[in-house]
């Protein structure tokens, strides 16, 4: 174990070599080497070839669809997710614990199941599709349908990020605000919500990142019309079915780059809020 | 004695609470949103599955394709989950019990698969083992099929479920510190004895929690598996893939019947998870809920 | 501003926290609500603030009935035990908050708000830290910010709930002295809650001693210490010993012996209270005589525990640490100051 002596602090507990070695080996085999294969494949195109493939109009359209719908879905989730977190933390009502448990359903329900269920509900002959059809609205097989699926899978990220921070906001702080003359609306908007800002931003970023990459729950309800309701992950699958591996790799690289930026931003938000306010998650 | 009744009490609500009508409006909006987006899809799965009666439901599940999909899903989970459990324990041991450089970075890396689209998780194996790669044809010459076969499905499943156990155990073991292990070692226990008799009992509920979530995702994974499976009927279709196949073939009842099994798995997972959180909340990691 | 609490009762879910409490707080005084936990002192403070509603009774600020007013309308300054600073705001923003949330008609202009906040930070000796966040300050500094924030709205009454409870002993003593200075300079009517009698005795103009939801005694620190009006106050404030005695025609007896104290007003079975340092040693004559059970030096005095009489009642007395009597195995003494309360 002396080999690791330089970079780790001494400890009497045995097993560092074994566990650390296994961790690195397993991570490399399962995650790292496959990801490197992706980078190599798209690098094989060269700089010009890469950009030509990435800037293909259909690719751009699919990225735009994915991003716009994911942004809208994350935005809606922030509003309702914050509200739901508030209701679950602050109020007592019949069925609260069941609803609290249900928030995690999108984590547990396989995406394909969610996909066909949402399609069944929002298709023109479905429970809700029927309601809006007379108004001339279509939800399934349009970008609206994509957004709905993304709201479904993103909701728990927002709720579960905000909930613990909201539980931490002490009653004393709200009372302090009231004694200083702030009415309830001012206390909520100037004291409680600002202290939740880092959590809300983190929840937004997590829900957005998940929605951009989502596949299973979206493809059934999307309609998958090129340039209209075709999401980027689906285009990867289509490129693969065309045996255009390099084309698939290029789209994947663009999406990976974006998720890494999101990951970086999330870490930044949390480091910032930890440093300044002394909390974060 | 002036025991005056405070006539204005109705006007003066508690300073840290909202008026009743605001409270109930918010509850109503929240509950309606959850009912619409969470409960309704779940109800839809079961109502579609039983639309043509119980007989049709069980007939659909008895089809050879459905049965083989169930078998394959169980097989894949039975391989992927234990491997990720071993990894999760090893990684959390290395990260929680020692101080070394780059620890925070390694912890971030373990979460990486969560931020990768499932389709990309499958794609990387296609690129690694596919026809245009170096490895694929070489393995094929020895008769080893990875892609469009069970090994590829297992690999893709391991990729997407990679962080579940580790991210539950790492914060838990960090909270518990190294005191118990040091005590056991000072009493003469060996490393393995310390692990089996001291560490493992301390983390058992957290481990179960991680296994639960890992298994739910392993059985339900769609995107990554869809890319590597090749969707060969009766051979490389897992339950979620078979759901898609039935659905695309307009076999609605069959699709939803199979989907209802997965939904049941999700519900059981949620119930067990909730029970664990209520009963053993202090023996689970405070952070890392979800996914 | 003077505050009058009239016959206030408070129940939490039918559990009575305060029974029919009345208290007059004088304008400009610094009064301490002192009592063990569960005595209702914090409940009384929160009722004055308007953070809780009384089950019955009224609270007047000057001549106006504050029971009709919400916490926002009462214009009080409240300092919380755990500071309750807004973590996402700088120190300056924290102090200005109360002025910024005023309705436009009464809100000072931004420049004025800033000037006043900076003045207050100067008063609490935190100039130069206005851009920091609460997280970057020490506990003592945070409590000073909390005080500046409460003072910023120019409160009619300043209420402090165990303000130094979360701080370590050294900082507590400093802040205590400093709070007294600030009070003398600004002249706010101030009510503070504490369970620390030393803090209350040192800081307050008057004490209000509470127990089990009732006020036991109100008075200056000297009068509460020297003339406790109940066994609880005698036991709670300062140190004391208790003996079961009987009184006959003004003479106090312990068992079958007179103890050399005459002039008692009461009659029959009584409880005698005295403080360890309020005694004199006597040679011969009627006295309390006891066998030394233990003797140890505490700083400048010697604390002697004695077993008195046949029933071996344990009492404590203080002697100078080098007093020769400390070497003896038997000591006789008489209380110089004492009080009797009827035996229950």
C13 and C134 fall within a common domain: yes
Pairwise CB contact (< 8 Å): B15 & C6: no
Over range A146-167, report the average pLDDT. 95
Q: CA A19 to CA A26: how far, in whole Å?
A: 10
CA of B53: how far to CAs of B49, B256, B257, in Å?
8, 12, 11
Q: Give the CATH number, domain containing residue A222.
A: 1.10.3720.10
Average pLDDT over residues C45-73: 92
B163 at interface of A, judged by CB pairs closer than 8 A? no
Give the model's pLDDT for residue B249.
Answer: 94
In this prediction, residues A6-31 reach a mean pLDDT of 90
If asked whether residues C57 and C123 sit together in one domain, one would say yes
Q: Which one, of C181, C112, C110, C191, lies nearest residue C150 by Cα?
A: C191
* Residue A279 banded pLDDT, cuts 50, 70, 90: low
Residues 6 or more apart whose CB falls under 8 angstroms from that of B29 comprise: A80, A83
How many contacts does B have with C, using Cβ atoms within 8 A? 33
Q: Which of B169, B34, B259, B113 is nearest to A105 (CA)?
A: B34
- Measured in angstroms, the CA of B112 and the nearest CA of chain A are apart by 9
Q: Considering its fold, how many domains does chain A have in total? A: 1
With respect to residue A227, please indicate whether it lies within any of the assigned structural domains.
yes
For residue range A88-119, list pLDDT tens digits in order.
999 999 999 999 999 999 999 999 999 999 99
pLDDT of B131 over the 90 cut:
no
Shortest Cα distance, chain C CAs vs residue B19, angstroms: 14
Q: Is C119 on the interface with B (CB under 8 A)?
A: no
Please report how many Cα atoms fall inside a 13 Å half-sphere around the Cα of residue A12, on the Cβ side: 14
Whether the per-residue pLDDT at A280 is higher than 60: the answer is no
Angstroms from A172 CA to nearest CA on chain C: 6
| Residues C184, C315 within the same domain | no
Question: Which chain B residues have a beta carbon less than 8 Å from that of A8?
Answer: 98-101
Helices (H) and strands (E) in chain A, counts: 15, 0
What ranges make up the beta strands (E) of A21-138?
none
Domain-located, residue A42: no
Mean pLDDT of A263-273: 86
| C227 shares a domain with C334 | no
The strand pairing partners of C330, in sequence order, are C291
Evaluate whether residue A27 is within a structural domain: no
* CB-CB contact of B125 with B228 (8 Å): yes
| Cβ–Cβ contact A67 with B under 8 A | no
Domain presence at residue A90: yes
Residue B203 DSSP class? H
Beta-bridged to residue C31, according to DSSP, are C191, C206
- From C55's Cα to the closest Cα of chain A, the distance in A is 20
Instruction: Summarize the confidence of residues A35-63 as an average pLDDT.
Output: 91
**Residue of B2, B13, B14, B15 to mutate when probing chain C, most C C-beta within 10 A:** B15
- Structural domain boundaries enclosing C12: 3-235
Specify whether the CB–CB gap between C303 and C318 falls below 8 A.
yes
Instruction: Say whether residue C11 is in contact with chain B using an 8 A CB cutoff.
Output: no
**Max CA separation in chain A (angstroms):** 75
CA distance A53 to A42: 10
Q: Which chain A residues are within 8 Å of C105, Cβ to Cβ?
A: none
CA-based nearest residue in chain A for residue B115: A259
Assess contact for C261 and C338: CB atoms under 8 A. yes
* Tokens at B80, concatenated: 């992927």
Both ends of chain C: CA-CA distance in Å? 41
User: How far, in Å, CA of B154 to CA of B228, rounded?
Assistant: 10
Mean pLDDT on B59-68 = 94
**Is 50 exceeded by the pLDDT of residue B2?**
no
> How buried is B277 (Cβ within 10 angstroms: 0-12 exposed, 13-18 middle, 19+ buried)?
middle
For C54, the closest chain B residue by CA position comes to B6
Task: Decide: helix, strand or coil at residue C32.
Answer: strand
Domain residues for the domain of A217 are: 47-277
Domain co-membership, C222 together with C248: no
CATH number for position C256:
2.40.50.140
Instruction: List the strands of the sheet with C76-79, edge to edge.
Output: C76-79, C157-161, C189-194, C30-34, C206-211, C214-219
Tell me, rounded to whole angstroms, the distance of Cα A62 from its chain centroid: 18
Question: Are the beta carbons of B100 and A23 separated by less than 8 Å?
Answer: no
Higher pLDDT, B133 or C205: C205
Tell me if C149 and A175 make a contact (CB, 8 A cut-off): no
Among C7, C54, C72, beta carbon nearest to B6: C54
Q: Are residues C221 and C326 in the same domain?
A: no
Across the interface, which of B2, B3, B6 has its CB nearest the CB of C53?
B6
CB contact under 8 A, B94 and A19: yes
- Specify whether C131 is located in the same domain as C215: yes
Asked if residues A94 and A100 have their Cβ atoms less than 8 Å apart, the reply is no
| Touching partners of B (3+ C-beta pairs < 8 Å) | A, C
Chains A–C, number of C-beta pairs less than 8 Å apart: 75
- Which of A177, A178, A276 is nearest residue C135 as measured by Cβ atoms? A276
Domain boundary among C167, C201, C235: C235
Structural domain contains residue A30: no
- As a whole number of angstroms, the distance between CA B150 and CA A32 comes to 21
Domain match, C182 and C306 both: no
Q: Which of A66, A216, A263, A266 to mutate to test the interface with B (most CBs of B within 10 A)?
A: A216
* A14 within a domain of the structure (yes/no): no
Is A195 within 8 Å of chain C by CB? yes
Q: Is B3's pLDDT higher than 50?
A: no
Contacts of C68 in chain B (CB under 8 A): 8
**Continuous segment of H or E residues that includes residue C77:** strand C76-79
ipTM, two decimals: 0.91
**Which of the four pLDDT bands, split at 50, 70 and 90, describes residue B1?**
very low
Contact list in A for residue C49 (CB cut-off 8 A) is 179
Spatial neighbors of A111 by CB under 8 A, at least 6 apart, are: A153, A214, A215, A216, A217, B118, B220, B222, B223, B240
> The domain spanning residue C101 has which CATH number?
3.40.50.300
Q: Give C243-270 as a DSSP string.
A: EEEEEETTEEEETTEE-S-------EEE
Q: Of C72, C82, C133, which has the smallest distance from its Cβ to A183's Cβ?
A: C72
Asked if C7 and B9 come within 8 Å (Cβ–Cβ), the reply is no
Last residue of a domain, one of C204, C235, C266: C235
CA distance B84 to B91: 10
When pLDDT is cut at 50, 70 and 90, the band that residue B283 belongs to is confident
**pLDDT per residue over B108-127, tens digit each?**
899 889 889 999 999 999 99
- Identify the residue whose tokens are 């759901």: B243
Q: Are strands C279-281 and C330-335 parallel, antiparallel or unpaired?
A: antiparallel
Token pair for A162: 């905000």
> Which of B4, B14, B16, B17 best probes binding to C when mutated, by most C CB atoms within 10 angstroms?
B4
**Domain annotation covers residue A12:** no
Q: What is the pLDDT of residues C177-234, one digit of tens each?
A: 889 999 999 899 999 999 998 899 999 999 999 999 999 999 999 999 989 999 999 9
In angstroms, the separation between the Cα of residue A91 and the nearest Cα of chain C is 18
Chain-chain contact of C135 with A179 (C-beta, under 8 angstroms): no
What is the structure's pLDDT at A263? 83
CA–CA gap between residue C29 and residue C192 (Å, rounded) = 11
Name every chain A residue with its beta carbon within 8 A of the beta carbon of B42.
105, 109, 117
Q: Give a yes or no: residue A194 inside a domain.
A: yes
Q: What is the DSSP letter of B14?
A: -
The confidence band for B13, taking pLDDT boundaries of 50, 70 and 90, is low
List subunits contacting chain C, requiring 3 or more Cβ pairs under 8 Å: A, B
Closest CA to C240 of C192, C278, C198: C278
The answer to whether C71 contacts chain B (CB < 8 Å) is yes
For residue A176, give the nearest of C72, C78, C133 by CB distance.
Answer: C78
Q: Does B249 touch chain A (CB under 8 A)?
A: no
Phi, psi (degrees; rounded to nearest 5) at C78: -125, 130
Instruction: Dump the DSSP string for C5-53.
Output: EEEEEEEETTEEEEEEEEEEE-TT-EEEEE--TTSSHHHHHHHHHTSS-
pLDDT by residue (tens digit) across C128-139? 999 999 999 999
- Closest C-chain CA to B2: C57
Residue A149 phi/psi, 5-degree rounding, is: -60, -40
CB neighbours of A251 closer than 8 A, spacing ≥ 6? Answer: A53, A54, A59, A62, A63, A232, A235, A236, A239
**Shared domain check, C179 and C300:** no
The average confidence (pLDDT) of chain B is 90
Contact at 8 Å (CB) between B60 and B254?
yes
User: Among C235, C262, C287, which residue terminates a domain?
Assistant: C235
The pLDDT of residue B286 is 60
Q: Please indicate whether, in this complex, the C-beta atoms of B8 and C67 are within 8 angstroms of each other.
A: yes
User: How does residue B10 score in pLDDT terms, banded at 50, 70 and 90?
Assistant: very low
Q: What is the DSSP letter of C254?
A: E
B2: nearest CB among C50, C53, C58:
C58
Q: pLDDT tens across C78-119, in order?
A: 999 899 999 999 999 999 999 999 999 999 999 999 999 999
Residue of B nearest to A208 (CA): B115
Structure token pair of residue A21: 């070695």
| Digit-coded pLDDT (tens) for B179-200 | 999 999 999 999 999 999 999 9
Mean of per-residue pLDDT scores for chain A: 91
pLDDT in tens, C284-315: 788 888 888 888 888 888 889 999 877 788 99
Bridge-based pairing state of the strands C157-161 and C189-194: parallel
Q: Where do we find the tokens 């009744």?
A: B5
Q: Are residues C96 and C230 in the same domain?
A: yes
Q: Give SS3 for C14.
A: coil
Q: What sign does the dihedral B234-B237-B238-B242 (CA atoms) show? A: negative
Largest CA distance in chain C: 80
Q: Partners of C335 in the beta sheet? A: C279
Confirm if B242 and B258 have CB atoms less than 8 A apart.
yes
Interatomic CA distance for residues C123 and B134, integer angstroms: 75
A contact chains, 3+ CB pairs < 8 A: B, C
Same domain, C90 and C225: yes
Q: Tell me the per-residue pLDDT of C147-178, one tens digit each, with 9 for 90 and over.
A: 999 999 999 999 999 998 878 888 888 889 88
Contact B15 C51 (CB under 8 A): yes
Q: In total, how many domains does chain C have?
A: 2
Helix (H, G, I), strand (E, B) or coil at C81: coil
Question: Are residues C164 and C16 located together in one domain of the fold?
Answer: yes
By the 8 A CB rule, do B274 and B199 touch? Answer: no
pLDDT in tens, A122-134: 999 999 999 998 9
């Amino acid at each position: 174990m002396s080999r690791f002596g330089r970079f780790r602090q001494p400890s009497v507990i045995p097993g560092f070599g074994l566990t650390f070695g296994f961790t690195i080996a397993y991570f490399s085999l399962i995650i790292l080497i496959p990801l490197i294969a992706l980078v190599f494949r798209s690098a094989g195109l060269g700089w010009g070839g890469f950009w030509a493939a990435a800037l293909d109009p259909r690719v751009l359209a699919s990225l735009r669809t994915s991003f716009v719908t994911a942004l809208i879905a994350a935005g809606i989730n922030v509003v309702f997710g914050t509200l739901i977190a508030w209701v679950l933390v602050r109020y007592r009502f019949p069925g609260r614990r069941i609803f609290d448990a249900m928030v995690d359903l999108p984590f547990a329900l396989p995406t394909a199941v969610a996909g066909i269920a949402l399609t069944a509900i929002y298709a023109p002959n479905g429970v809700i599709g029927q309601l809006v059809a007379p108004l001339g609205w279509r939800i399934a097989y349009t970008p609206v349908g994509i957004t709905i699926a993304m709201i479904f899978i993103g909701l728990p990220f927002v709720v579960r990020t905000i909930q613990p921070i909201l539980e931490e906001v002490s009653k004393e702080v709200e009372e302090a605000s009231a004694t200083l003359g702030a009415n309830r609306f001012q206390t909520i908007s100037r004291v409680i919500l600002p202290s939740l800002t880092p959590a809300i931003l983190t929840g937004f970023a997590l829900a957005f990142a998940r929605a951009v990459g989502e596949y299973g729950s979206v493809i059934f309800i999307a309609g998958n019309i090129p340039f209209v309701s075709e999401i980027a992950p689906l285009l990867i699958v289509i490129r693969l079915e065309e045996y255009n591996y390099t084309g698939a790799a290029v789209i994947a690289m663009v999406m990976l780059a974006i998720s890494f930026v999101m990951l970086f931003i999330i870490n930044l938000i949390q480091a910032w809020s930890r440093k300044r306010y002394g909390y974060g998650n | 004695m002036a025991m005056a009744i405070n006539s204005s009490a109705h006007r003066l609500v508690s300073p840290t609470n909202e008026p009743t009508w605001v409270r109930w409006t918010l509850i109503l909006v929240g509950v309606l949103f959850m009912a619409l987006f969470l409960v309704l899809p779940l109800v839809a799965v079961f109502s579609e599955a039983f639309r043509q009666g119980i007989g049709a439901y069980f007939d659909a599940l008895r089809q050879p394709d459905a049965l083989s999909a169930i078998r394959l899903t169980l097989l894949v989970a039975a391989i992927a989950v234990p491997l990720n459990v071993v990894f999760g324990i090893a990684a959390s041991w290395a990260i929680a019990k020692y101080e070394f450089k780059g620890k925070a970075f390694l912890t971030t890396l373990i979460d990486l698969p969560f931020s990768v689209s499932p389709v990309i998780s499958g794609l990387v194996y296609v690129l690694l083992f596919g026809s245009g790669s170096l490895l694929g044809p070489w393995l094929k010459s020895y008769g080893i099929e990875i892609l469009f076969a069970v090994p590829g499905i297992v690999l893709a499943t391991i990729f997407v479920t990679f962080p579940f156990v580790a991210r539950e155990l790492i914060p838990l073991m960090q909270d518990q510190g190294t005191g118990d292990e040091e005590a056991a070692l000072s009493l003469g226990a060996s490393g393995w004895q310390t692990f089996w008799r001291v560490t493992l009992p301390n983390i058992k509920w957290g481990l179960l929690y991680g296994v639960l979530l890992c298994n739910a995702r392993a059985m339900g994974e769609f995107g990554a598996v869809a890319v590597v499976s090749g969707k060969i009927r009766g051979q490389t279709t897992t339950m979620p893939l078979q759901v898609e196949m039935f659905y695309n073939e307009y076999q609605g009842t069959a699709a939803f019947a199979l989907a209802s099994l997965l939904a049941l798995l999700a519900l059981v997972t949620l119930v067990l998870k909730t029970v664990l959180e209520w009963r053993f909340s202090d023996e689970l990691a405070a952070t890392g809920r979800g996914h | 501003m003077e505050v009058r609490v009239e016959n206030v009762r408070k129940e939490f879910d039918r559990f009575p926290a305060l029974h029919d409490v009345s208290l007059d707080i004088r304008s400009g005084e610094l009064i301490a609500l002192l009592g063990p936990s569960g005595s209702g002192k914090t409940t009384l403070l929160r009722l004055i603030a308007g953070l809780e509603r009384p089950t019955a009774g009224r609270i007047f600020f000057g001549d106006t009935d504050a029971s009709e007013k919400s916490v926002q309308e009462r214009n009080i300054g409240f300092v919380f035990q755990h500071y309750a600073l807004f973590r996402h705001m700088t120190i300056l923003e924290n102090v200005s908050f109360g002025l910024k949330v005023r309705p436009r008609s009464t809100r000072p202009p931004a420049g004025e708000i800033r000037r006043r906040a900076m003045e207050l930070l100067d008063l609490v000796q935190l100039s130069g830290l206005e851009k920091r966040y609460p997280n970057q300050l020490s506990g003592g500094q945070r409590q000073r910010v909390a005080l500046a924030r409460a003072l910023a709205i120019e409160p009619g009454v300043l209420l402090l709930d165990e303000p130094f409870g979360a701080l370590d002993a050294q900082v507590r003593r400093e802040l205590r002295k400093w709070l007294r200075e600030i009070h003398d300079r600004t002249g706010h009517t101030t009510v503070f809650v504490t369970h620390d009698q030393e803090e209350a005795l040192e800081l307050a103009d008057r004490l209000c001693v509470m127990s089990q939801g009732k006020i036991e005694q109100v008075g200056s620190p000297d009068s509460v210490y020297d003339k406790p009006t109940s066994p609880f106050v005698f036991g709670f404030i300062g140190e004391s010993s208790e003996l079961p005695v009987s009184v006959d025609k003004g003479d106090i007896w312990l068992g079958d012996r007179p103890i050399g104290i005459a002039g008692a007003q009461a009659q029959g079975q009584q409880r005698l209270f005295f403080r360890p340092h309020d005694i004199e040693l006597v040679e011969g004559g009627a006295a309390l005589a006891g066998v030394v059970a233990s003797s140890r030096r505490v700083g400048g005095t010697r604390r002697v525990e004695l077993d008195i009489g046949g029933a071996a009642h344990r009492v404590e007395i203080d002697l100078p640490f080098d007093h020769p009597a400390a070497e003896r195995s038997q000591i006789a003494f008489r209380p110089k100051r004492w009080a009797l309360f009827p035996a229950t």
